[in-house]
Structure 1
Amino acid sequence: MRLIDYLDKGAEFGSDKPCIVYEDRNWSYTEVVELTHRIAAACVRDGFKKGTKAAVLSPNDPGALIAVLGILRAELVWLPINPRYALDDITDLLDRFDCELLIVHPTFAPVIDQIRAAAPGIRLVLVLGPSLDHVTALGDWIAPAGVRHEGGGGAHAEDVAAIMTTGGTTGRPKGVLQTNRGFETYVASYIATVGRDERPNYLVVAPMTHAAGFMCFPMLVRGGTIFISPGTDPRTVARSMERHSISELFVPPTLIYTMLADPEIRAMRFPALKCMLYGAAPMSVEKLREALEWLGPVLSQGYAQVEALMLCTVLRPEDHYIDGEIAGPERLSSCGRPAPFVMMGVMDKEGRLLEDGAVGEIVVRSGNVMAGYYKDPEGSAEASRFGWHHTGDLGYRDEEGFYHLVDRARDLVISGGYNIFPSEIEQVLWGHPAVQDCAVVGAPDPKWGEAVTAVVQLKEGRSADAEELLSLCRSRLGSIKTPKSVLFWPELPRSPVGKVLKRDIRETLWAGQKRRI
């Protein structure tokens, strides 16, 4: 299936049913399907052929989602670029990924000329909303009402549907080639594990250029309604969940943390909720248990990366419980079992698959694995060795088949000759009632080489001192794994998709040093 086929399939459940809802406005499946045909027909009319690169640069917006579906119907390659990136990063990606058609939200109007200058390959810029002096409105450009785009006859499973960007947590983002087959594998795995009901009500909270947007496809294919949240603050999200009887949504762990800390939200109940999928960053076991006590058996965890599209593993709602009781830390700290259409293993550096309990690199074999990195054959070959995709994540499989992420290989701290996994320390710190979030990294040290250092963000109105946190770590982890120091920062640096940027923390701590390890 092509990505646009999910929309057309969903329309079979009732073309008059709402497809997209934003505040008090809704678009039926009939309206959305027609608009995508008009956009696709205009693409063909103006010479944008199959495989042409196109981007929609916008915050979460119904017009942006319809525009994405329109370029997908034309079989252009979608470039989901996060609008929260810095302008220099946006223009770099548009230029490197050979964007020719760009559709922007009006908030980007002041920088359109800068974008054009930095990405000269862009042939046409359109704007969502009214036309500007030098930019045509998408609504004025599309083909007349009633025009149909009859394409898709030459579509193949291996056609590239999107060039996604890696998180950029380690440096310059790469372009990830994801195919029709990759999305189809993801959608099938999602429906087989957590999204079984027809006509779900799905709330988009996180950026549509990332996991929250990719989740629109398993919603559309089931005839679901996509509600776009008017804000991302916890109370707005919770009220939207309540008002619209939301049954499914994706949230990063940090949003769950802030919801748990708000008494008004904690008093709310969401009887329609079937699946709150959390992921994109590690989840505190203590806060996960607290969320389960509040929400009940509706939480699911997904492990994936853009190179191996959602989902690789799933910790289903029922997996959070054992014999009717909330499971213990060993189960709750896992990322689940492999999804139905995914093979996984744990591999050493020589390409040998390891036994249960042994720590190595998580490897994946599935239809959801990327076709490669855009214009980066060396990087593509490095990620695909010994017949498996290499995730760069260290972990192990337990005797029940659940996978546990130990850390990113690059985040390993080597202190005094010992290999120390920051995630183990972070789990302990997250359990302190005053800690909102934390990150553990290695800082330069003349004696140890790297000194384990905890950078902590406290909850508003709460307090804790360094010795209190160090004592907690010593009691739970012993002296070797206990941080040598604790730093309190007002907030942790994050990527546009909410991941903590340990790279930025390390750069601050290693400033002026010639070495980085």
Structure 2
Amino acid sequence: MRVIDFFDRGVALDPERICLKDASVTRTYAEVHRQSCLIANALIRDGLAPEAKAAVYSPNAAAPFECVLGIFRAGGAWVPINARNAVPENAYILDNCDVEVLFYHSEFEANVARFAEQCPTIRQYVCIDRAGGRGTWLDDLIRDVPATDPDVPGGRDSLASIFSSGGTTGRPKGVMWTNLVWEIMLANFYTSMPRRKPPVHLVVAPMTHAAGGLAILMMAQGTTHVILPQFHAQAVAETIQNEGVTHLFLPPTAIYVLLAHKEVAKYDYSSLEHFIYAAAPMSVEKLKECLAVFGPVMSQTFGQAEAPMLCTFLSPEGHQVIGDPEKEKRLASCGRPTLHTAVAIMDDDGHLLGPDERGEIVVRGNLVMPGYYRNQAATDEVSTFGWHHTGDIGYRDRDGYVYIVDRKKDMIISGGFNIYPSEIEQVIWSHPAVQDCAVVGVPDEKWGEAVKAVIELKPGASLGEDEVIRLCKETLGSVKAPKSAEFWPALPRSPVGKVRKKDIRESFWAGRDRAI
């Protein structure tokens, strides 16, 4: 099936149900369907061929979702452009992906002028929200086209999207998603999180990443999507209560801010069914706080752009292990493999490892991308031994739960010992004064690398270096305990909220001949 077929299923279920709702507009499924047909027909009239690339560059709102659906309906490939990225990074993505059409919000008019200089493949600019500027106004673009479905054929292997790889190390690569990748992701989602009642999804993380992908998936069951332009803890809590939100995705860093809000516990979260977290390992202690505040609704997924979102799943029921010491350790896992995706642990020689043995997490199946766009060498590098290599180090226990120990490149080698930062971060996160932290290796004449903790405290909290080191020594021993700790007002984060360990680490290695 094509991606647009899943949206059309939602239309058929209830055309008059609200599909998209932001601060300015409310659109039913029938209205969004009509708009997507108009956009698709305009794109086809203006020469967008099947699998040609079109991008959307906008804050979260209803209109950019309609543009995405129009691209899908025209048979094009959607290239998400994160509004929080730096302009040079977005210019690189647009150029590298051969984008022909750019839908954009007027607040980015100055940035779009720079794209026009650096991205020669873009032949058409469409301003979503007003007339004037470089682009054609969307209302003018669709003025004289029919509102009928163009019904462009598309096969399972047709290109539907090009997402960007994480981009925290080096330039982002274009990750190709076919219709089949979308279909398997959708199948994994619905087998893991079956519908209980008419869903209401809160879109607050960037729609260019997990929140937007989740929205597209959930349209197949007629979900109402309530859209916030950006994350603010109080607005999230109020919206869950006032809109009866059933589904929500946030990365752990945003969840920590939400938990730290002084009034978080006063709101009603009884409508929630799945509070989904992913994108980075989460503090077990803060996860326990979530269960106390939000109820038995926490749901974890593990994936990456190359194998999106649902390689593994830890259900709300799987979180109900508090008080059972043998099972409580599962809170540190990312769950078990989903129905349509194989997950294993592999050593550097391509051998699959047994229970509790640490190695690289590898996956295979139709959820895995067919490759990086115009980058066969990078595709080959992550596809050895017949599996996709995630770059994450982990293990599976005897019950099949998968645990992420660290990123392969984040491992610290200190005095000949392999030290995994995430293990130390779990301990530091457990301190009530800590909002977030990152553990990195810093240069040391004796050890080669020494373990350093960089900590962001909760507003108004205080904590000393000695207390951090003592806590880690008591829990992990002296080898893994940080040799030093620093307190920063805010940790650097990527546009999707991931802590940029690379930037933190580089600040300590700058000016040296080596970085290891």
Query: Above 0.5 in TM-score?
Result: yes
Alpha carbons 1:187, 1:217 under 8 Å: kept: no
1:264, distance to aligned residue in structure 2 (A): 1.5
Who is 1:438 aligned against?
437
5 Å matches for 1:265-304?
A: 265-304=264-303
**Partner residue in 2 for 1:120:** 120
- Once the two structures are superposed, the pairs formed by residues 100-119 of structure 1 within 5 Å of their partners are 100-119=100-119
Counterpart-to-counterpart distance in 2, 1:135 and 1:44: 17
Work out the CA distance in 1 between the residues paired with 2:134 and 2:454: 47
Partner of 2:89: 89
Q: Partner of 1:80: helix, strand, or coil?
A: strand
Is 1:220 aligned to residue 215 of structure 2?
Answer: no
Of all paired residues, the percent bearing the same amino acid is 46
Other-structure match for 2:57: 57
Work out whether residues 396 and 402 of structure 2, in 8 Å CA contact, stay in contact via their aligned partners in 1: yes
Deviations 1:275-297 (A, max 9, x none): 00011111100010111112221
Q: Is the 8 A contact 2:35 2:147 kept in 1?
A: no
Whether the 8 Å CA contact 1:39–1:143 is kept in 2: the answer is no
Distance 1:67 1:452 in 2: 47
CA distance in 2, matches of 1:108, 1:241: 30
Q: 2: CA distance between counterparts of 1:445 and 1:329?
A: 37
Q: 1:404 to 1:384 in 2, by over 3 A?
A: same
d(CA) in 2 for partners of 1:143, 1:514: 61
One-letter amino acid matched to 1:506:
R
Following the alignment from structure 1 to structure 2, what is the Cα–Cα distance between the partners of residues 374 and 58? 23
Asked whether the 8 Å contact 2:202–2:228 carries over to 1, the reply is yes
SS at match of 1:282: coil
Range with greater deviation from structure 2 (387-396 or 267-276): 267-276
Instruction: Deviation per CA, 1:123-175: give whole Å up to 9, x if none.
Output: 0001011211442101110153643232233x111111111101111111111
Task: Say if 1:36 and 1:73, in contact at 8 Å, map to a contact too.
Answer: yes
Structure-1-length-normalised TM-score: 0.97
- CA deviation after TM superposition for structure 1 residue 377, in Å: 0.6
How many angstroms does 1:254 deviate by?
A: 1.9
Deviation at 1:217, TM superposition (A): 2.1
| TM-score, normalisation: structure 2 | 0.98
Distance in 2 of aligned mates of 1:78 and 1:431: 40
User: What residue in structure 1 maps to residue 509 of structure 2?
Assistant: 510
Residue correspondence of structure 1 range 231-250 to structure 2 within 5 A = 231-250=230-249
Q: Distance in 2 between matches of 1:45 and 1:231?
A: 34
Q: Distance in 1 between matches of 2:376 and 2:218?
A: 34
What's the counterpart of residue 255 of structure 1? 254
Q: Which residue of 2 aligns with 1:207?
A: 206
Question: How has the CA–CA distance of structure 1 residues 145 and 324 changed in structure 2, closer, same or farther, with 3 Å as cutoff?
Answer: farther
Change (3 A) 1:426 1:493: same
Q: Which runs of 5+ in 1 are unaligned?
A: none
Q: In structure 2, the residue corresponding to 1:280 is in which secondary structure?
A: coil
Deviation at 1:324, TM superposition (A): 8.4
In structure 2, the CA distance between the partners of 1:133 and 1:161, relative to structure 1 (3 Å rule), is closer
Superposed displacement of residue 93, structure 1: 0.9
- Alignment-mate amino acid for residue 513 of structure 1: R
Number of positions where the alignment pairs a residue of Structure 1 with one of Structure 2: 516
Does the Cα contact within 8 Å between 1:37 and 1:149 map onto a contact in 2?
yes
Gap runs ≥5 in structure 2:
none
**What are the superposed Cα offsets for residues 408-464 of structure 1, whole Å, 9 maximum, x if unpaired?**
000000000000000000000000111111000110111111111111111110101
Instruction: Provide closer, same or farther for how the CA distance between residues 344 and 217 of structure 1 changes in structure 2, counting only shifts above 3 A.
Output: same
Deviation at 1:23, TM superposition (A): 2.5
Letter in 1 for 2:320: Y
Q: Is the 8 Å Cα contact of residues 320 and 326 (structure 1) preserved in structure 2?
A: no
Measure the CA separation in 2 of the matches of 1:116 and 1:335: 42
- Shifted more, 245-254 versus 205-214: the winner is 245-254
Are 2:41 and 2:146, in contact at CA under 8 Å, matched by a contact in 1? Answer: no
8 Å CA contact retained: 1:198, 1:223 = no
**Is 320-329 or 488-497 further displaced after alignment?**
320-329
- Kept in 2, the 8 Å contact 1:312–1:339? The answer is yes
Q: CA deviation at 1:262?
A: 2.1
1:341 aligns with 340
Q: Which amino acid aligns with 1:249?
A: L
Aligned residues of 1:249 and 1:275 also touching (Cα < 8 A): yes
CA distance in 1, matches of 2:326, 2:318: 8
Residue 322 of structure 1 deviates from its aligned partner by 3.3
- Matches for 1:378-393 after TM superposition, within 5 Å: 378-393=377-392
User: Does the C-alpha gap of structure 1 residues 15 and 326 become closer, same or farther in structure 2, counting only changes over 3 Å?
Assistant: farther
Determine if contact 2:36/2:67 at 8 Å carries over to the other structure.
Answer: yes
| One-letter identity of the residue aligned with 1:66 | E
Q: Distance in 2 between matches of 1:174 and 1:429?
A: 33
Residue by residue, what CA displacement relative to the aligned partner does 1:360-385 show, whole Å, maximum 9, x if unpaired?
00010121100101111111011111
For residues 372 and 399 of structure 2, what CA distance do their matches in structure 1 show?
34
C-alpha distance in structure 2 between counterparts of 1:268 and 1:133, whole Å = 43
1:307 matched to 2:306: yes
Residue 230 of structure 1 deviates from its aligned partner by 4.4
Matched with 1:178 is 177
Residue equivalent to 2:367: 368
State how far apart, in whole Å, the 2-side matches of 1:267 and 1:195 are.
Answer: 29
Aligned residue identity for 2:225? I
Answer yes or no: is the 8 Å Cα contact 1:216–1:226 preserved in 2. yes
Aligned AA (2:468): L
CA contact (8 A) 1:177 1:371 kept: yes
